[in-house]
Structure 1
Amino acid sequence: MGYQSSPAPTADDLPHLRRCVDLAREALEDGDEPFGSLLVDAGGVVRFEDRNRVKGGDQTRHPEFEIARWAAEHLTPQERREATVYTSGEHCPMCSAAHAWVGLGPIVYATGTAQLGAWLQEWGVPAGPVAPLPVGEVAPGVPTRGPAPELADEVRALHARLHGVHDPA
């Protein structure tokens, strides 16, 4: 397919990505999977933030999906196009599709689908029920930036904790 790699996040993106990693840590500390996301409007204001909430059994409770729902209810189509979604991990196919259908702007992620997949494989974690496709394969019209190498070790450590892996990396 026509998937192309993404440019790296900018220095201006890093504070938002760091907040996403903090939200991912909050999720993990609450017994959930470590993912966190923000919706930032064109003026740089955080309009919505959330973290994973799948521990109760509803595997659709991803923060990126919640952002799409919130944006559809609270923002105009133009505001959605001009907004940026920041996330600790690249969107899964479900969230990529929701993002595209709602018409949100760019996605900036701290770690990518390929990174997480490699870590899970290295640790012997079984694959999930949905193919781990990058955003560009699911929603080719959505611009992306990521991953952010400076956050990779921190995000990797959160996922290692989730899976009970002692990870010296």
Structure 2
Amino acid sequence: MTAQLTDTDRAHLRRCVDLAREALDDGDEPFGSLLVDATGAVRFEDRNRVKGGDQTRHPELEIARWAAAHLSPEERAAAVVYTSGEHCPMCSAAHAWVGLGRIVYAASSEQLTAWRREWGLAPGPVAALPIQAVAPGVPVAGPEASLSDEIRALHARLAGVTT
């Protein structure tokens, strides 16, 4: 679901892409996310950490866990999660269960699925459902076209393909 993004949204997404690159440079999958409170302050950021074998170490799940432990329900509802890639079903569910607010993503699950298919890669072990199929009450915005080529290149590098 594409929605108009602000310059502030794009700046936060830029940081997410930088975190995704940091993850890839460290041998991990290229995903990065941050949690921004109602005042615009970044409260938590993380990147994928699945290379150790725990495939649940997604930054969006870590954000949900951190928010549940550190923010009131009202603060969680007013917060925005920015992420380089649209939440997977696990992270979408965690986001909704914790009661976080809006999600803004740079690349959609649909895009990532299409890129992987184009490169001849097998689909992941979990269906690539859009956030609102799992968490219909969560407002979402994305993808952000200006970051698409850069995110595609990160995922191509992970896959070992030349684009």
Q: Which residue of 1 aligns with 2:77?
A: 81
Out of 45, 51, 60, which is 1:64 matched to?
60
Out of 130, 148, 152, which is 1:156 matched to?
152
Q: Which residue of 2 aligns with 1:141?
A: 137
8 Å Cα contact 1:8/1:147 also seen in 2: no
CA RMSD of aligned residues (A): 0.6
1:113 maps to 2:109: yes
Q: Which residue of 2 aligns with 1:99?
A: 95
Cα distance in 2 between the residues matched to 1:28 and 1:95: 20
The alpha carbon displacement at 1:10 in A equals: 2.1
Q: Deviations over 1:115-166 (max 9, x none)?
A: 1110000001101111000101000000000000000000000000000000
The alpha carbon displacement at 1:19 in A equals: 0.1
The alpha carbon displacement at 1:12 in A equals: 1.9
Cα distance in 2 between the residues matched to 1:8 and 1:166: 31
SS in 2 for 1:42: coil
Cα distance in 2 between the residues matched to 1:83 and 1:22: 21
Cα distance in 2 between the residues matched to 1:65 and 1:22: 19
Cα distance in 2 between the residues matched to 1:6 and 1:71: 26
Q: Which residue of 2 aligns with 1:132?
A: 128
The alpha carbon displacement at 1:86 in A equals: 0.1
1:2-21 alignment to 2 at 5 Å?
Answer: 5-21=1-17
- Structure 2 residues without counterparts, runs of 5 or longer: none
Q: Deviations over 1:58-97 (max 9, x none)?
A: 0000000000000000000000000000000000000000
Aligned AA for 2:12?
H
- Structure 1 residues without counterparts, runs of 5 or longer: none
Alpha-carbon distance change, 6 to 140 in structure 1, aligned in 2, over 3 angstroms: farther
SS in 2 for 1:100: helix
Aligned AA for 1:146?
G
